[in-house]
Structure 1
Amino acid sequence: MGMEFKNMVSLVSRNGRHLQRYSKGRRQVVGCIPYRCKATSQTFSGEEDLEVLVISSQRKGKGMLFPKGGWEIDETIKEAALRETVEEAGVLGIVEGELGKWNFQSKSNDAYYEGCMFPLLVKEQLDLWPEKDIRQRVWMSVPEAREVCQHWWMKEALEILVHRLTSPQQHDEKVVGPC
C-alpha cells in the first residue's frame, strides 16, 4: 500500500470545495494523529513511550494541530484521512480505527464542521510532501502536544488515542499496531 499510494500522491495539495462532503449542513473534515514509539522504547507501557506528530497551522502564529482537511466524494473516509496526512505532514502509515466524531465551529469564520479523527501508526516519513514549504512538522511527547494543540476536539481525540494505546485489554486483542 505504501509504495502504491506514494506513487499516486502528487506534490500538489487538492484545492477547491466542489468535491466536499457535507452532513446536515456541516462540512465533513477528517484527519489523523500520527504516532510512533520512541526509539529508546522496546516495549509500549504508557504515554511516555509515545510520540505524536503535530504540524503548524497555515495561519501564522495560530499554533499547532494534527493534519486534517475535507473528505471528498471520490474517496473513502480512511483514504481522505491518509491523503490529508500525506499532504500536510508528509508521513505514511497504517490508518487505524476511528477515534470519534466531533461537531465544532470554525474560529476564523462562522462555518460549522463535523470532524472525524483516526490514529496513524507512522511507517515512513517523506522528505518531500505537498505542504513542506508552508508547514512545519514536529514530533513531540503527549504532554507537549496537549499543550500546543489549538483545537479542543483534537485534544479529546488525543486522549482517546492515549487511552486506547495504554489500555491493557487493547493490546491483547491486537487492536493497535505494534510499536
Structure 2
Amino acid sequence: MTLHIKKLATSPSRSGRHLQRYNQGFRQVVGCVPYRIKAEKSAEIDEISIEDLEVLLISSQKSSRMMFPKGGWELDEDIGLAASRETLEEAGVVGLLGDKLGEWIFKSRSQEKQHEASMFSLLVKEELEVWPEKDVRHRVWMTIDEARELCSHLWMKEALEAFVRQFANGQTIKEESLASCGFDELRLSIGEPSSDEEDCYLVR
C-alpha cells in the first residue's frame, strides 16, 4: 500500500472529463474536510472537543483564496475512493474517511455550470511531502473559527458546520484502514492538473 500511495503522490492529477459522472445534468464532485487533533492533545478521540481540532484548507490554483479539497467523481471509482483521491491530489494528505457530511448544489460563475457536491470528513493520518498539486497550491492548518472566516465558498462553510455538528454528536471516523479506502485500486491518468471550479455560489 505504501508503494501505491507513493506512486499516487508523484503522479499528475487526473484530467479530462471523459469519465466524469453527471446526475440530471449536474456535474458530480466530491471532497473532504480534512482534520487532525492538535499535537498537544493525546486523549482518545471520543474525549476530544471541537476546540482541540484543526482543519486543512488549500489555496486555489488561480488565486490565494482558500477552500477544502474537492474535484470530479469519475465512473471507475466509488464515491469514497474519489473523495480520498481528490484530497490526496490537491492537499497531499491521506487518512480515514468519515461519514458523508451532506450534498450541496453550486454554480461556477466562470463556466456557468451547475455542480452537485458531496463532502466527507477525513481524519488525517499522514501528510505527504510530495503530492500531485504541490507546485500549484498552498495548504494551511487552522482552527475551526479561522476556517469559518477564511474559506471562500458559502457551501463549503456549510460543509464545515455539518462537520462540527457531526463531531459534536459523537459521530467519529469509520473503523477502516487506508487499504479498505481503496488506495491500492486507484489508477490515475497522465495529464495536467485539473482547473478549479473556484468561483462558486450556493444555488440550493
The two structures have a TM-score, normalised by structure 1, of 0.89
- Tell me the alpha carbon deviations over residues 103-145 of structure 1, each in whole angstroms, 9 at most, x when there is no partner: 1111322100000000011000000000000000000000111
C-alpha displacement of 1:4: 5.8
Q: Which residue number corresponds to residue 50 of structure 1?
A: 53
Cα distance in 2 for partners of 1:11, 1:84 equals 13
CA contact (8 A) 1:99 1:161 kept: yes
Q: Which residue number corresponds to residue 118 of structure 2?
A: 116
State the one-letter code of the partner of 1:6.
Answer: I
State the one-letter code of the partner of 2:59.
Answer: S
Equivalent positions of 1:23-38 (< 5 A) are 23-38=23-38
Q: 2:99 is paired with a residue of what secondary structure?
A: coil
Alignment partner for residue 98 of structure 1, among 94, 100, 104?
A: 100
CA contact (8 A) 1:165 1:176 kept: no
Q: Percent identity?
A: 55
Cα distance in 2 for partners of 1:84, 1:110 equals 22
Q: Which residue number corresponds to residue 182 of structure 2?
A: none
The two structures have a TM-score, normalised by structure 2, of 0.79
Distance 1:177 1:75, change over 3 A: closer
Q: Which has the higher contact order (CA 8 A, sep 6+)?
A: 2
Alignment partner for residue 176 of structure 1, among 173, 176, 198?
A: 173
State the one-letter code of the partner of 1:144.
Answer: E
Cα distance in 2 for partners of 1:51, 1:27 equals 30
State the one-letter code of the partner of 2:52.
Answer: D
The gaps in structure 1 that reach 5 residues or longer are none
Cα distance in 1 for partners of 2:100, 2:169 equals 16
The gaps in structure 2 that reach 5 residues or longer are 176-204
TM-align CA RMSD: 1.7
Q: 2:162 is paired with a residue of what secondary structure?
A: helix
Is 1:137 aligned to residue 136 of structure 2?
Answer: no
Q: Which residue number corresponds to residue 5 of structure 2?
A: 6
- Tell me the alpha carbon deviations over residues 17-38 of structure 1, each in whole angstroms, 9 at most, x when there is no partner: 1110000100000001110010
Pairs aligned (count)? 171
CA contact (8 A) 2:83 2:120 kept: yes
